Amino acid sequence: MSTKIQDILNKTDFSKQDIVTLLNTDKNERQFIFNKANEVKKEFVGLKTYYRGLVEFSNECNKNCYYCGIRAANKDVNRYDISDEQILESVKFAYENKYASVVFQAGERDDIEFIDRIENLLKKAKQITENKIGITISLGEQSLETYKKWHIAGAHRYLLRIETTNKELYYKIHPNNNKHNFEKRLKALEAIKEAGYQTGTGVMIGLPFQTYEHLADDLLFFQKFDIDMVGMGPYIEHTETPLYEHKDILLPLTDRFDLSMKMIAILRIMMKDINIAAATALQAIDPIGREKALKVGANIIMPNITPTINRENYQLYENKPCIDEGAEDCTTCLEARIVIAGDDLGYDAWGDSPHFIKRQQK
């Protein structure tokens, strides 16, 4: 290994330049980052993978992010909204299969009918699982009051990706208006923390116009914000979106994949005790992409347990994996894959972020 990489990996704190150097490593050198990340994972969170059963319960969305296939302006999408009964069936499946946690994700809505419905749904999900199921939600930007309401109703983790921490880039991938505002998104993330959630964020990797410097700043942001969980993965272009016009300047998919691996590994070394998800988008590029991420620092996997019939309509990006498998097929195939990746499965455990637990004790 070059002494330069060795010297950086021996540091306790990475500078922006250090991170850029690590992101620039070639195929041989990057292995040292990966090995170090796996060692850190073993020591601080254990070689364990926790499941979160993912229910993508609706693709109705009132926003227009330029990268996303289910944006409001895409008229080619068959909109769906799974009934509460069906969502609760998925929760039951997760509970009975010892997933211990679920994630409810959907397009963004903030009308009162939606807010009340989610509150009710969270309460019911707790009720039918003897209060045992752990619930993460990923329902976009809401008011502090709504975040608090949902927290009290039973959700204890929240995912809201900042998407990019570079303001200029943010407005290249979103409209610039009241619904899409960088400061508002940041404030929402702060409100999530204030409401008492284990707070998760993340970015897309390989966006058009994104540089290694931007990505280094993203990692430093996670650290400064003292985040508990991160889910980040490759950007995958979708033909029916405005951002598709920049497809010619994108890195090849495999490079976006490799860059995502490095981002995960570097983050694990920087923030040793947080939860890091192996994003589904990794699997859209490499059939064993998520398992590869588990070997370089990730410790959370979110098997899709959305009723199969709805899956093909939740295509944030194209080539989304597992859209024609049922929840049970997913479980069996995943279990084998994770064991092959060298991890134990954290069945029947919430698998909370140790970082959050320490943050609470401060």
- Secondary structure (3-state) at 275: strand
Please name the residue that has the structure tokens 């989610």: 118
Among ligand SAH, ligand SF4, none, the one that 71 touches (CB under a kind-dependent 5 to 8 A) is ligand SF4
Pairing outcome for strands 229-234 and 198-201 = parallel
Q: Among residue numbers 147 through 176, which ones bind ligand SAH (CB under 6 A)?
A: 160-161, 163
Among ligand SF4, ligand SAH, none, the one that 317 touches (CB under a kind-dependent 5 to 8 A) is ligand SAH
DSSP code, position 177:
B
Q: How far is the CB of 60 from ligand SF4 (least distance, A)?
A: 9
Interaction of residue 295 with ligand SAH, rule CB under 6 A: no
Burial of 251 (0-12, 13-18, 19+ CB in 10 A): middle
The token pair that represents 181 in the structure block: 């505002």
Q: Among residue numbers 49 through 68, which ones bind ligand SF4 (CB under 6 A)?
A: 61, 63, 65, 68
The token pair that represents 254 in the structure block: 């495999």
Q: Among residue numbers 301 through 330, which ones bind ligand SF4 (CB under 6 A)?
A: 316
Element (H, E) at 190: helix 182-194
- One-letter amino acid identity for 356? F
Element (H, E) at 51: strand 48-51
Among 5, 23, 37, 70, binds ligand SF4 (CB under 6 A): 70
Considering only CA atoms, which of 22, 16, 18 is closest in space to residue 220? 16
Q: Among residue numbers 132 through 171, which ones bind ligand SF4 (CB under 6 A)?
A: 140
Among 19, 191, 204, 278, binds ligand SAH (CB under 6 A): 204
The token pair that represents 322 in the structure block: 């597992």
Interaction of residue 238 with ligand SAH, rule CB under 6 A: yes
Site residues (vs ligand SAH, CB under 6 A): 67-68, 105, 107-108, 138, 140, 160-161, 163, 204, 235-236, 238, 281, 316-317
The residues of the shown chain that bind ligand SF4, judged by CB under 6 A, are: 61, 63, 65, 68, 70-71, 107-108, 140, 316
